[in-house]
Amino acid sequence: MAETTNLGYPRIGKHRELKKSIERYWSGKTDENEVLQSAAEIRRSAWETQQAAGIDRIPCNDFTFYDHMLDTSCLWGLVPERFNHTTGQPVSLATYSKMARGSEGLAALEMTKWFDTNYHYLVPEFDGADPVRSGNGPVDAYNEAKAQVGDAAKPVIVGPLTFVLLGKHHRKSIAEHVNDLLPLYAQLLQDLAAAGAEWVQIDEPCLVQDRTQEELDLYTSAYGTLAGTSSRPKIMLQTYFGSLGSGWDTVMALPVEGIGLDFVRTPNNLSDLASKGFPADKVLGAGIVNGRGVWRTDLDKTLSTLESIAEKVDRERVWVGPSCSLLFLPHDVWLETAHGEDVLANLAFAEQRLEEIHTLATGLNKGREAIADDLQANQQRLGSVTPHEATQERMRSLSEADFTRSEPFAARASKQQQQLGLPAFPTTTIGSFPQSPEVRSMRARLRSGKITQDEYDTWVKGKMDELIARQEEIGLDVLVHGEFERTDMVEYFAEQMEGFIATEHGWVQSYGSRCVRPPIIVGDVHRPNPMTVDTIKYAASRTNRPMKGMLTGPVTILNWSFVREDLPRSEVCNQIGLALRDEVRDLETAGIGVIQIDEPALREGLPLRRAEWETYLDWAVKAFRLSSVGAKPETQIHTHMCYSEFNDIIDAIKAMDADVISIENSRSNEELLKAFTNNKYEQMIGPGVYDIHSPAIPETGEIVERLRHATAVLGVEVMWVNPDCGLKTRRDDEVWPSLKHMVDAARQMRETVPT
């Protein structure tokens, strides 16, 4: 009989209990015990839910207080020297938090995207001492889970190759770092076996990326070593987010007891299984329901896929599960109350995915007649989308002229400077200002009907007045309105465009305690009315300095939403681009001369195989241009991109043809600047001068040094001065000193650097 499995579960709690608890701890309002109790309850609830859904193999050690890669760094004692940790001792929650967030004088670990998701992980650093076991986290997690779900508990750990390959500051070869870790992994496997673990899930998602033959050979040797560990659990080598590609034969030959494959993201694993077969001595983890999308699984079609898999692999050796961990989904569709059952019944969040897994396994084991009612109900739920004819007509009429600005950058830059009159090293922020308890409280009061829309709008205008006056006071050159009216940079726009629905409780983890509610694209996207014009026009009327219009770009809105599956993503992205193009036109008409169209998610949408990049970047860049290039030459178009490796997409960034790009730079030690110098980037650039994800307040001298280094690399004429991201998550007492130091640093640069 086929078994059911899960690869990981949302760890924030149904009502973001972890976020609330850990943030209280960070702010000093509670102690570590409350955080530990909250975490234990979240884990207990997750295991209970999975057990009730009939999952046979329930993951444990998939919970984290911030990030699973950070947990792995701490497990192996890879704590950078700057955190003053005693080697070999368990990492305290206080030190763990400093590694994640930084503190006064201590830079946090670099943060970047987890493959092509909107989840961020903290990058392991390998420039210190050799790894050493520093705690017993996975074993403790297994013992805790076993006490609740018994033998169903399945420990999950990050594999040694993925852990090293995704790290930085390698002072040895990749192979040497892996070999340093293997004895530690072997001992951990023995300890898990001694605790009673039958299986362990070892995640190696790097196998779905392009890997060299040397790296594939390293997988062979590393897992040969681990497989030779005496008294160990069986190993389920888990991959996800794509196909094995040219690594198929290598992976199939690894001496492990199980291999988990993603059969959702691409058809390649299924075709390779059909043509090459599967080892007769291994269990196949069949990732068959979508762990990253929210549309109900077509049970009939998916069961047919499972049946074809069972023709190659005996049912007794099949585990039916999701394509990846369910941490990328909200908890439960039925928490939603703002939409009718006709809408919700066609959606599946994490709990509904568990139900689908159980239903499909039952159909595979007992035949279609055993789930006939489920199949019929499922087919009735799967509906079609009614097209929006005006949007469809605009899409059909697009021509090359719609993707090209009317004048080249050099001509535009001259006109923009004439109009704006900015000094050298112009200062600005990325857009958002702190979403304080007062801001959130007023929004909640509006939602609950305790204040009227007019009262709320008047209050927001007052907040903008205060913010604009304070920005002028410290001397910022290009101002922003603060985004107090916006819950989220994507959700805000989705709520005002047709073709989207928003959720009340559809929270997913972005990083640490940062949670977002991705909107769901359910139809053709269009903009019925202006979205930001009145607000930005009011803000601009309160100052004589340039005021930025703030928009989220089409690629980011697409990548940070749950997207409909009946259209190509490129077509949906262009629909969003057209809606934003209309907004840019209306902002210009209202007299706004600087418009920022943020695209922090452009790179994260890259396919994991390089051969597929060109196609994606072509349509992604075109969608951005569709939104922006209708602007007049005098209108300065900004964009913002954060936490990305830019070297390999610099040509695409150039092709976006924005006038100014601001980038994350503070955590990367200026590594990102190399992309813009090695490839002759000619537009203007604002390399972030301090890390907004840390509560630390940078000193003026520290920022001056960053600016001097960046100017030496990039040149004076292209430099802008800004933080590395929006300020939404910070407090006022952190923001204003930091910005004052940033402005003072820019002034020092104007006085000391020839312009």
- Can you tell me the distance from the alpha carbon of 429 to that of 412, in angstroms, rounded to the nearest whole number? 22
Spatial contact of 260 and 240, defined as CB atoms under 8 Å apart = yes
- SS3 call for 596: strand
693 counts as catalytic: yes
638: which strand partners? 596, 660
Strand bridging mode 594-598 / 636-641: parallel
- Can you tell me the distance from the alpha carbon of 320 to that of 723, in angstroms, rounded to the nearest whole number? 46
Q: Which of 331, 638, 693, 741 is catalytic?
A: 693
- Can you tell me the distance from the alpha carbon of 287 to that of 9, in angstroms, rounded to the nearest whole number? 15
Nearest to 589 by CA among 655, 640, 537: 537
The one-letter amino acid code at 499 reads G
Nearest to 343 by CA among 380, 290, 381: 381
- Can you tell me the distance from the alpha carbon of 121 to that of 123, in angstroms, rounded to the nearest whole number? 6
Angle, CA of 592, 483 and 534, to the nearest 5°: 45
- Can you tell me the distance from the alpha carbon of 359 to that of 353, in angstroms, rounded to the nearest whole number? 10
- Can you tell me the distance from the alpha carbon of 57 to that of 611, in angstroms, rounded to the nearest whole number? 35
CB atoms within 10 A of CB 652: 20
Spatial contact of 163 and 72, defined as CB atoms under 8 Å apart = yes
- SS3 call for 297: coil
- Can you tell me the distance from the alpha carbon of 610 to that of 372, in angstroms, rounded to the nearest whole number? 42
Alpha helices in 349-485 (DSSP H): 350-366, 372-381, 389-396, 409-420, 437-447, 453-474
For 328, residues 6+ apart whose C-beta sits below 8 A from its C-beta are 117, 118, 119, 291, 292, 508
- SS3 call for 165: helix
Give burial (CB, 10 Å; 0-12/13-18/19+) of 85. buried
- Enumerate the active-site residues: 693
